[in-house]
Structure 1
Amino acid sequence: MTTTTPMPARTTAARAGLTIAEASARTGLTPHTLRYYERDGLMLREVGRTASGHRVYTDADLAWVTMLTRLRATGMPIREMREYAALCRRGEGNEESRLGLLQAHRSRVLEQLAAVTDHLGAIDEKIGIYRGRLGRPA
């Protein structure tokens, strides 16, 4: 299990940003998912808060959420996403670990892509057969 250091606190007194609803609309994730990412240690740093305690997302937060979304969409397990976030939070000096984690994930994605491409070829072949039977051009 990976232990993480606490995320540095950020103040938002003089900083503008997006509400959770606006961040949700911008990222395509639900507010629940955004809160989950924060609660589960996936965010790069603590999401800022207004004086009343409402979340305020910066462009940097949204860029990080976009990266998380890409990792998740390509099948990276939450456990590995959490590990990657923890490495990034620790700062310089662990780039080799980050690289290894991403390269291993990339290899898995390429294997999945090859399998999907193979399956797509089989589907295209069947489509060609049915188009031929119906006298339609390929």
Structure 2
Amino acid sequence: MPAAGIHYPHNPEFDRFLQAFVGEDRNGNAVTVLSALARLDLEPWEEATALAALEKEAADSRLEMLLSQFRDVPALKQDYGSVARKLTRLLPKRRKRLTAVSDGAENGPAKSSGLIWAVLTFLFLILQLILAGVPGAGQ
């Protein structure tokens, strides 16, 4: 059985955003965010990932700037800003990133993992001391 990502290697969390309708081009064809980004010679999934990593206002501004460069949809010229704001609402919510604290200690799972290993090491040493003192063990 093939791996799940082989036939569709892109992250599906961006599908709502990338498949959103931007407008009709001069030939009457529907243009999505995906096709608009591709026509701008950008990789749509990379751009969506970058936009999702930005704060809301920065993502709005970036997408507005990109849409202002996109000339294939005449009706889009009327208001790049409101279209960009509507479209960025379709991006997945930003996730909190793990960052190092100023004193060098780590937050989140990395700190918990270190604590778990320390406790396991301590328990292992206690077990070794107990077993070393048992008569007949190794004599």
TM range (shorter): 0.3 to 0.5
* TM-score, normalised with respect to structure 2: 0.38
